[in-house]
A and B are shown apart, each in its own frame.
Chain A
């Protein structure tokens, strides 16, 4: 028999879910010494083991974990950065009269983390935002987060309308369901910009620019009935007027809508009562610029790299009195006034999540993540402590049960003014989660930071069209970007 090696590298296989979007596809993460890899979790009922490019590329994200702690641009040890965060928040708290502090977490956090952040914000007199609060706050009664029909509704709908969605590229798992629906005789239509392979599933493709979608949607509404299903994306750059219009059509015709969301636990922000600020990202940035918001705790929200007007966001952050960044992936850009507190990678954290179909899901990690960080920061403050993890899990289950028992119907709402923004206030309406999340596709990797400004020059590739929220930037498939890819070779 052989001799066992002196130093045995440990192999660990962790049950996990992809943080790429709120579908939360199941997968295994393999830790093999310093190496991280994925394996397919074929028994997961959400995705049957299938993953899109983002899931396949997850090891690259997880390898880019935050290993350094920073305070005001200087490298420090973890204890020092926790102390600095504590001191900064204490100082802000004592002189914050009339000023707002905000905890912003777009979604890559467990229910337990969201609840602990909420408790933390309450203790400091801060508000919380998921970046989707303006939908909850301004368009009341829209069941944006509350459709438990699962994806079977796609297979079983007779009439499916995709709104500004490129399912093969953005949500391949949904594309599969659309294929199945087509095989069962569903009629699938698309309204919006060109998408990949739309012709293979859609009987009707209404190609139009984003500012024309609302008009087309209204024209279409007379052909919609209770067997119809809208599918579209609800992200931080989604157009509120289109969301409201779809809701109203659903209310009038008894049709349904399925909103797909960009971040892992976006679905939970309402269930956990997290978002109590009711502002869009654009409004939040404006308030940072004007000094209404003076303190920001940014949790797992890599907006320094992925907010599409990076410079504006960086400058707005630099105006803040206090900026604490709690993040697991290393940002490429970081404002000089930030306190960077490292967080364990998503897959290493334990806790629960809610996916876009309303499934309550457990993570397979063994670390607490944010509650642990917040407890340490709290130690330097004289505020109420964060509860035990067990207590947070219990509360998240209760919140989920209460939320899922409360059926929200579609009621007519007022449609916000369309195409209203002028001047410098331009956002990018992004229909692609890879770009929104700042990684993934080989084109994005190749052109890196130069992508946006260079693409804007190429009208052929980028439909630069002002809509309610801004500009369309889409179509990242290789063949259509060969010109740009060639440019950077």
Chain B
């Protein structure tokens, strides 16, 4: 049962300069001291540069940029078992945290998940190139970026520049491939989901949806301590938010069809050839394993347990990963981002995950209580 509000910061500087009225910044400020770690992202240069910070006092809050679309940091990696952590994250990060709960790497009771709605993230270096080619802007001129109504908008100090995402993506720019076909836009597995969908035009407020008692308690406490203020949203804008979510999901389905269906429609032997050819440049650096937010095994990981006499250790490594991640890949795209030889690994993993989901109905990252079908042994007959 969820509850919705419009919220904003009570700190003048954050309300004025923060994203959507600075609600998230002030909410996490209110949590400092209550959690061992309060984790978010801070801009370190242009809006395309930033790093994770552990906030220790109110002065750390300034410059926090939870919604930087161009950072693509795997936030779930910053949750350490046994540390009580409040963390701001994207929907895919939240799904990764849920998968880690299943593996006992995270305790649900230890974390407060503050999710941010996400229409997709951008590869920073490709985006800086796009700025030059498509927008004729320098990265240091951009003060804010936003995805709205099918457009990618960059704001400078005194202007805004908007282009159709569809057109940008056809030209090889725009959102990362995995984000294009991701259909999880509002992180409902979090305690709270925040964003600017369903807010009044030009209004300095955040749309806040609360999913858990812990989330409600955090917001109530922040209100009582005077960090934030909230009010009920208009019904009309609640509907608008829902429509935006639906249209983003529809777009995602269309992209999934465009990217994955042609591969699925290949004959089994051609599909196998496609997969092996795509993996052939692999140099065995294991960066994909390192970047994967749900792959947390240490030295005893099965994907590295190769027979030294086997002549195909790298294909074996990928075969094990493709099978393992079939029921846990949350489609974050980190593996593709970090591959030094540009193998579209997320596409391959999603190919397997989609086939698995089609057959079993199982979606990873949606509930810590879900047991994967292979683990519970109730795969439908014939599959």
- A residues at B contact (CB < 8 Å): 1-2, 4-5, 8-13, 15, 28, 30, 32, 38-40, 42-45, 48-53, 55-56, 168-169, 172-173, 175-176, 179, 196-197, 200, 477-479, 482, 485-486, 489
Contact = CB atoms under 8 A, between A and B. Distances in A.
B275 to A, nearest CB: 16
B52 A478 contact: no
B308 A8 contact: no
Interface stretch (B70-78, B148-156, B163-171, B248-256): B70-78
B286 interface: yes
B54 A39 contact: no
Contacts of A489: 308
Given A173-B340, A479-B312, 12 more contacts: A5-B83, A11-B52, A12-B54, A48-B125, A50-B338, A51-B285, A51-B287, A53-B283, A56-B287, A175-B341, A179-B281, A179-B342
Interface in B232-285: 280-281, 283-285
Contacts of B34: 1-2, 4
5 A-B pairs closest in CB distance: A172-B340, A43-B124, A11-B54, A48-B125, A53-B285
Contacts of B71: 42-43
Contacts of A11: 37, 39, 52, 54, 78
Given A172-B340, A172-B341, A479-B313, A52 B83 contact: no
B85 to A, nearest CB: 10
Given A42-B125, A43-B70, A43-B124, A32 B80 contact: yes
A172 B285 contact: yes
Contacts of B36: 4-5, 8-9
9 contacts: A1-B34, A13-B52, A28-B51, A39-B74, A50-B340, A51-B285, A56-B286, A179-B341, A479-B314
B145 to A, nearest CB: 13
A172 to B, nearest CB: 4
A23 to B, nearest CB: 11
Contacts of A55: 287
Given A13-B51, A172-B285, A40 B291 contact: yes
Given A1-B221, A28-B51, A32-B80, A42 B72 contact: yes
B123 A42 contact: yes
A179 B344 CA distance: 14
A5 B82 CA distance: 10
A39 B77 contact: yes
Nearest to B109: A2
B51 A197 contact: no
Contacts, number: 136
Nearest to B285: A53
Contacts of A38: 290
B48 interface: yes
B83 A176 contact: no
A39 B123 contact: no
A28 B41 CA distance: 13
Contact of B283 (A44, A196, A482): A196
Interface string B295-323: 00000000000001111111000000000
A434 B211 CA distance: 49
B49 interface: yes
A200 B51 contact: no
Nearest to B283: A168
A53 B286 contact: yes
B33 interface: yes
Given A4-B36, A11-B37, A56-B287, A40 B337 contact: yes
Given A56-B285, A200-B280, A45 B128 contact: yes
Given A13-B53, A53-B286, A175 B340 contact: yes
B125 A197 contact: no
Contacts of A179: 281, 341-342
Given A49-B338, A56-B290, A172-B285, A482 B51 contact: no
B339 interface: yes
Contacts of B39: 11
A56 B283 CA distance: 13
A477 B337 contact: no
Contacts of B84: 2, 4-5
A50 B123 contact: no
Interface of B: 33-37, 39, 44, 48-54, 70-74, 77-78, 80, 83-84, 123-126, 128, 217, 221, 280-281, 283-287, 290-291, 308-314, 334, 337-342
Most buried by B among A56, A197, A485: A56
B283 A169 contact: yes
B340 A176 contact: yes
Contacts of B80: 9, 32
B73 A39 contact: yes
A137 B284 CA distance: 39
Contact of A486 (B78, B124, B308, B340): B308
Contacts of A43: 48-50, 70-71, 124-125, 128
A478 B314 contact: yes
B146 to A, nearest CB: 18
Contacts of A13: 51-53
A49 B337 contact: yes
A360 B313 CA distance: 39
Contacts of B126: 48
A423 B83 CA distance: 62
A478 B125 contact: no
Contacts of B290: 38, 56
A179 B80 CA distance: 38
A43 B68 CA distance: 12
B287 A50 contact: yes
A168 B281 contact: yes
Nearest to A43: B124
Contacts of A485: 308
Nearest to A170: B283
A172 B285 CA distance: 9
A478 B306 CA distance: 11
A482 B281 CA distance: 19
Nearest to B176: A42
A4 B54 CA distance: 14
